Amino acid sequence: MRISAIETRLYRIPPAIQIEDAIQRVSHWEFIVSTVTTDAGIAGTGFAYTNGLGGTAVRELVDTYLTPLVLGLDPLDVERIWGRCWWELHALGSAGMTRFAIAAIDIALWDILAKHAGVPLYRLLGGSRDRFPAYGSGINMHLDGEPLLDQMRGFLDRGYRAVKMKVGRDNPAEDVERVGSVRRLIGPGVRLMLDANQKWTAAEAIRRVTLLRPFDPFWLEEPLLADDRAGHAHVRQAAGVPIAVGETLYTRYEFADYMRAGAVDVVQADICRVGGFTEWLKIAGLAESLNLPVAPHFMLELSVHALCAVPNGLILEDLQGGSLTDLGILAEPIRVVSGELAPPARPGHGIVFDPAALRRYEVTGKVTGITPTRT
């Protein structure tokens, strides 16, 4: 079996609801979708995403540099192909857009491998379990009072036993009020995760956590710039709250450095941002060797396969307004039921895009009408 063609398209899709955290507003997600076809008639779909910036560059990397590199290769040699793509782009940088480009190819190859084997992807990857608990995740910095509580009530009504909210208001008292109101609503038996999206310095994070600790956060996510590994270690030791990190880390080496530094309790590697399943599995294995759980960032439909494959999975993120189903671009919806999600049972990853729905959002040339993401 050989790779005979790769077609890559770019789509800019607005979120289903307003999306705003401590540092940015997301007016569009960009999806870079690659269809890898083989001479055996098996095709796989891979994709990566951005928060609205860089999609054309990622598409160009896939079309111009990676596609000629992998045409004619055996798609079953997924590790060899990943390595070739990584070396080809490594001089541009080992993280960021180079990883997104590799992910679009890698995810499609794993889709092909599972289809070739005739099994759902999670079973091919390891088959540790066949469903996984999820938490309701809100990018909700703009919400206060009843609108915030209504979002949380919606999560509880759908069977979630864990929820996440954004923190990082300029006025610490506002964070205290918002978090306190949510904790009073959900009660002590529901996990409450807090996400600062890299907003603070180490000293400020420690001060803020002192104010928020009475509400028993299950974890504090990205309190500092992801570049500041030593700062995360300091906050973790001083604040006394578990630290979750990973959505803005891109390589197994970055994750290894965080783990060695004692800077992370929950590993949140994002499948698209680390370059696909090939790299994600290595990061999950590294975490397991240090008795750390993994809770992938975003991408519900991919993350459920990853979590069901490994023994150290913790919980699945269902981002309100950001799932492929919420965006209205799937031919067959994939939804959490009673707080849990089972991966699609068909061979492959089971993600089937609706071509007509996607067509409305396709970008064939340059991106125009850009809205700044910074708040």
Catalytic residue check, 166: yes
Q: What pLDDT, on a 0 to 100 scale, did the predictor assign at position 22? A: 83
> Exactly one of 28, 164, 166, 349 is catalytic; which is it?
166
The CATH number of whichever domain residue 171 belongs to comes to 3.20.20.120
Has residue 75 been placed in a domain? yes
DSSP codes of every residue in 55-70: HHHHHHIIIIIIHHHH
The total domain count for the chain is: 2
DSSP 239-290: H-S-EEE-TT--SHHHHHHHHHTT--SEE---TTTTTSHHHHHHHHHHHHHT
Residues 177 and 293 in one domain: yes
Question: Which residue among 116, 297, 305, 349 is the active-site one?
Answer: 297
What is the full per-residue pLDDT of the chain (375 aa) written as tens digits? 999 999 999 999 999 888 888 888 888 999 999 999 999 999 999 999 999 999 999 999 999 999 999 999 999 999 999 999 999 999 999 999 999 999 999 999 999 999 999 999 999 999 999 999 999 999 999 999 999 999 999 999 999 999 999 999 999 999 999 999 999 999 999 999 999 999 999 999 999 999 999 999 999 999 999 999 999 999 999 999 999 999 999 999 999 999 999 999 999 999 999 999 999 999 999 999 999 999 999 999 999 999 999 999 999 999 999 999 999 999 999 999 999 999 999 999 999 999 999 999 999 988 876 766 655
Please tell me whether residues 204 and 326 are part of one structural domain: yes
User: Is 90 annotated as catalytic?
Assistant: no
In a domain, 112, yes or no: yes
Q: Burial, 108: exposed, middle or buried (Cβ in 10 Å; 0-12, 13-18, 19+)?
A: buried
Other Cβ atoms closer than 10 A to 97: 21
User: How far is the C-alpha of 139 from the C-alpha of 137, rounded, in Å?
Assistant: 7
Residue 375 in any domain: the answer is no
